[in-house]
A and B are shown apart, each in its own frame.
Chain A
Amino acid sequence: MDEYISFEQIPFGSDDFANNPESRCPCLLLVDTSASMSGLPVMQLNEGIRVFKEELTEDPLAVKRVEVAMLSFGPLQLQNDFTTVDNFQVPHLSANGDTPMGTAITMGIDLITKRKETYKAHGVGYYKPWIILITDGTPTDNWQHATQLIKEGEARNAFAFFAIGVEGANMDILSQISVRTPLRLKGLMFREFFMWLSSSMKMVSSKSPGASNTLPSPSGWSEL
């Protein structure tokens, strides 16, 4: 993978675990930035991600616990590796290329696995990771392997995988990929979606043991 490192953005200094022993709540965003997302969709997506960071930053606990990573796939690119919300750089996504969804999912699961190892090595606890896939199309690469990995991961309780289909998404393939029923975004309600995601993350990350998993309803942004 062609990785470009921007030196303005590296969080140089002692690693974050030394001064933040809080348990981490990893959230991985897999966002489709293929050519079909051009124009308004990608603009709304950028705005949604900005709101997501803003909402989480305002929560004193979430800001220490929620870690966000983002992979975009038109050309596959790691926009952000896992970092706590305060260090999360809101990228400026632009749309081009095809839809290598399978590769993105496979790489994403790998990122999650590695991140868990890092948590263990630093002796910090962690919550069940969430993977959020947002797409408006059909995979243009092999997605069967990714499907297998999701099934296995969900069965092992290794992560929770959510698929969100934007107008034009192949919901049939999404429901084959995702163990959970994929949800369809109403129009371009990225902002509302990311508000929901941030409140869900706040809830998950503030949980003490035994807390039940009643998440806010997605009805504000999804078509039933």
Chain B
Amino acid sequence: MMWKAIGKSVTGSLHVQAGKGCEDAIHYSIDNHSAALICFVSDGAGSATQAAIASKLATQTAHDFIVHQLQQHQPVTEPDIYQLAESVFDALQQHAAHSKTSLAEYACTLLGCIIFAEYACFIQVGDGAIVKNTGNDFYAPVWWPHNGEYQNTTFFINENGHPHLKVLVTEEVINEVAIFTDGLQMLTLNYESNTAHHPFFKDMFKWLRIAHHPDQVGSLNQKLEEYLSSATINNLTNDDKTLFLATRLQQSV
């Protein structure tokens, strides 16, 4: 059983106006040996001068940490995920020290999943969300993005001791997952009922499920980028946005 995955980070219209590049980042792959799906997404804080570097470094470091772990043929456990958060923190701290910049300028969120056939691991610091198909075509966020009371407050991976780190290792079988940054929360989540907005995910996954050739997945990935940059989306949010979607290749039994 393998995975079909698409994912893009796109610069928001506000950042385009301000001449800033994309401060969201995404890094994903499918591990050949274990068939695990690995994805990390990060949103660099708008106020942090090194936001773009931070988010790229965070996703890259987290991804490499897991790949390295899988090369050792080790299962991924809860302590490993905490270790992963540490190594991301260390990487940011090192970069800050090297550039003689304050670590505060490296504020970014981190969301990620490592999904195996029999179990799955999730990590989240800050806003955005990971949404999973609960097995009956019902989508649910693993954690509700908790910002505190105000819209402009959230938590970041560069906070020492990770007081707001959320980690989950579950034996639930996950066949479909989406990860997105806060730029898309207004479209993907229903804040009145604290649930995922189903039509959004159903419409997207429908196409990914029927794509059965790498070329088709590739063109969906292209379409995803176009969609995220479209006026439809830009009228609703001017923030950078990242969306990752993955569905397991169901083999007919």
Contacts and interface: CB of A to CB of B under 8 A. Distances in A.
Contacts of B190: 123
Contacts of B107: 210
A33 B52 CA distance: 49
A147 B67 CA distance: 58
A207 B46 CA distance: 7
B39 to A, nearest CB: 21
A23 B46 contact: no
B151 A23 contact: yes
B101 to A, nearest CB: 15
Given A21-B186, A127-B151, A211 B45 contact: yes
A157 interface: yes
A139 B47 CA distance: 40
Interface string A186-216: 0000000000000000001011111110000
Given A21-B186, A123-B191, A208 B150 contact: no
Given A123-B190, A206-B14, A209-B126, A157 B149 contact: yes
Given A209-B147, A210-B107, A127 B152 contact: yes
A114 interface: no
A43 B45 CA distance: 42
A125 interface: yes
Contact of A127 (B45, B150, B154, B186): B150
A92 interface: no
A21 B147 CA distance: 17
Nearest to B193: A123
Which of B126, B127, B150, B191 is most buried by chain A, counting CB atoms within 10 A of its CB?
Answer: B150
Interface string A115-159: 000000111111110000000000000000000000000000100
Contacts of B89: none
Contacts of A206: 14
Nearest to B18: A206
A208 B192 contact: no
Interface residues of B, number: 25
A205 B186 CA distance: 16
A61 interface: yes
Contacts of B127: 209
Contacts of B186: 21
Interface in B182-223: 182, 186, 190-192
Given A123-B192, A125-B147, A207 B152 contact: yes
B123 to A, nearest CB: 18
B178 to A, nearest CB: 20
Nearest to A65: B151
Contact of A209 (B149, B182, B191, B236): B182
Contacts of A211: 45-47, 152
A124 B153 contact: no
B239 interface: yes
Nearest to B236: A21
Nearest to A210: B45
B76 interface: no
A209 B192 contact: no
Given A209-B109, A209-B126, 15 more contacts: A21-B236, A23-B151, A121-B192, A123-B192, A127-B151, A207-B46, A207-B47, A208-B46, A208-B47, A208-B239, A209-B45, A209-B127, A209-B147, A210-B46, A211-B45
Interface of B: 14, 45-48, 107, 109, 126-127, 147, 149-154, 156, 182, 186, 190-192, 236, 238-239
| A-B interface, 9 closest residue pairs, ranked by CB to CB distance from nearest | A123-B191, A210-B45, A209-B154, A211-B47, A208-B46, A125-B151, A207-B152, A123-B192, A23-B151
15 contacts: A121-B192, A123-B192, A125-B147, A126-B150, A207-B152, A208-B45, A208-B46, A208-B152, A209-B45, A209-B127, A209-B154, A210-B45, A210-B46, A210-B107, A210-B154
